Chain A
Amino acid sequence: DVKVTQSSRYLVKRTGEKVFLECVQDMDHENMFWYRQDPGLGLRLIYFSYDVKMKEKGDIPEGYSVSREKKERFSLILESASTNQTSMYLCASSRQIGNQPQHFGDGTRLSIL
């Protein structure tokens, strides 16, 4: 079974802090993704990585950056956290683009105070 592990289930940070969310997958997948999920808005793609050190912007990249130094690890960085970044953050990975399912971690519920 594919396992995607997110480092924290719950996180509370303050406005202006730099925040790191970590994600690790154990299936040697090429592709990794970061989404945020908000009530009424559904899941929205923040960033996507198709290889080590490679990344593409998703639909809502503003205020975020990512890092992929190793194949199994994909980090989401909130450069200067703001209250509108309070959300559930979900990491996913997939073997191939498009015709293979993405497998999700259990999410990090991030609160920015």
Chain B
Amino acid sequence: EDQVTQSPEALRLQEGESSSLNCSYTVSGLRGLFWYRQDPGKGPEFLFTLYSAGEEKEKERLKATLTKKESFLHITAPKPEDSATYLCAVVNSGGSNYKLTFGKGTLLTVNP
């Protein structure tokens, strides 16, 4: 069974204080790993897809990286508007390849 574990559960940063969120996964053949951002009362908003170990994607202050066992979402010089829950999800390459398996998320709070 596919599993995704995100850490920490919650993270408080000061504005400008860079940090990383972790997503550890167990999957029988990775087809894709997805990062989403979710604001309170809204649906998840797609950020990145990573397909293979060594791949990196960047968008503004966010950078996602992938190894064979985990993914990191690096946040450089965060701003208060980066406050949200960040979700990681995987899809396997087997028979249930339609299904996203989500982690429980990391709640990021950036204080001004």
Contacts and interface: CB of A to CB of B under 8 A. Distances in A.
Contacts of A43: 44, 87, 89, 100, 102
A87 to B, nearest CB: 14
Interface in A38-67: 40-43, 45, 48, 50, 56, 58-59
Interface size class of B (residues with CB under 8 A): 20 to 34
Contacts of B104: 40-42
A102 B90 CA distance: 11
Given A42-B104, A42-B105, A98 B98 contact: yes
Contact of A107 (B42, B51, B87, B99): B42
A50 B99 CA distance: 12
Contact of A90 (B31, B34, B43, B89): B43
Given A90-B44, A98-B93, A101-B49, A50 B102 contact: no
Contacts of B87: 42-43
Contacts of B14: none
A99 B43 CA distance: 20
A92 B41 CA distance: 16
Nearest to A99: B32
Interface residues of A, number: 26
Given A106-B42, A107-B43, A45 B34 contact: no
B98 A56 contact: yes
Contacts of B44: 43, 90, 104
A58 B51 CA distance: 23
A71 to B, nearest CB: 17
B98 A42 contact: no
Contacts of B32: 98-99
Interface of A: 4, 31, 40-43, 45, 48, 50, 56, 58-59, 90, 92, 97-107, 109
Interface of B: 31-32, 34, 36, 41-46, 49, 51, 87, 89, 91, 93, 97-100, 102-105
11 contacts: A42-B103, A43-B89, A45-B100, A48-B98, A56-B98, A92-B43, A101-B34, A102-B100, A104-B36, A106-B43, A107-B41
